[in-house]
Amino acid sequence: MSINCIVVTPAETAVETEATSISLPLFDGDKGVMADHAPMIGRLGSGELKLHGSEGASRFYIEGGFVQVLDNTVSILTNRVIAAEDLDSNTLQQNLSDALAMPGNNDEELDVRERAVDTVRAQLRVAQS
């Protein structure tokens, strides 16, 4: 029994595929979905989306959004999708040091910096795993 998995970003439908099991980054930790999962709507965090299919697993980095599970269809609405193999640790390390070097003189700037650092760290985790 397979699940239909659809990943959409505001700009396009990025991935549409069949999978036997899916692992999603919910806002507070990973969650696995297999066939015949109960209907669910969840809030996503930034992290790794893993689709296990018949010919191995494919991995993506996704950034926030929602997931809806219904009738063996998993719809993932997210801001950004990057295939894991497109993430390069060296560039990301550079991005991380850039993000850490951002100014943090007031609350607003600190907030922006924190968000940027979190995003890059989440990407790095996917790239390195």
Partner 1 sequence: MANARALDKRRKSVRNIRKITRTMELIATARFKKAMDRATAATSYTKRITEVVASLAKSGTEVQHPLLEERTATDNAALIVLTSNRGLCGGYNGNIVRETMRQFDSLADAYQNVKLIVSGKRGITNLEFRGYSADETYTQFEDEPLFEDIKPIADQLLDEFIAGRLDRLEVVYTKFISSSKQVAVVETLLPLGDVGSADEESEEGGSDADFEFFPSAESILEEVVPMSFRINLFKCFLDAAVSEQIARMVAMKSATENADDMIRNLSMTYNRARQSQITGEIMEIIGGVEALKS
Site residues, partner 1 (CB under 8 A): 8-13, 26-28, 31, 38-43, 64-66, 68, 70-71, 75, 77, 79-80
> DSSP assignment, residue 89?
H
Instruction: Give the nearer residue to partner 1 in terms of CB position, either 12 or 55.
Output: 12
- Closest approach, Cβ 82 to partner 1, in A, equals 12
CA distance 74 to 97: 36
Cβ proximity to partner 1: between 11 and 55 the closer is 11
- Minimum CB distance to partner 1 smaller for 70 or for 100: 70
User: Shortest approach of partner 1 to residue 58 CB, angstroms?
Assistant: 20
Where in the chain does DSSP place strands (E)?
Answer: 3-8, 13-19, 21-26, 29-34, 40-53, 56-70, 73-77, 81-83
- Within 10 angstroms of residue 3's Cβ, the number of other Cβ atoms is 23
Beta carbon of residue 54, minimum distance to partner 1 (angstroms, whole number): 25
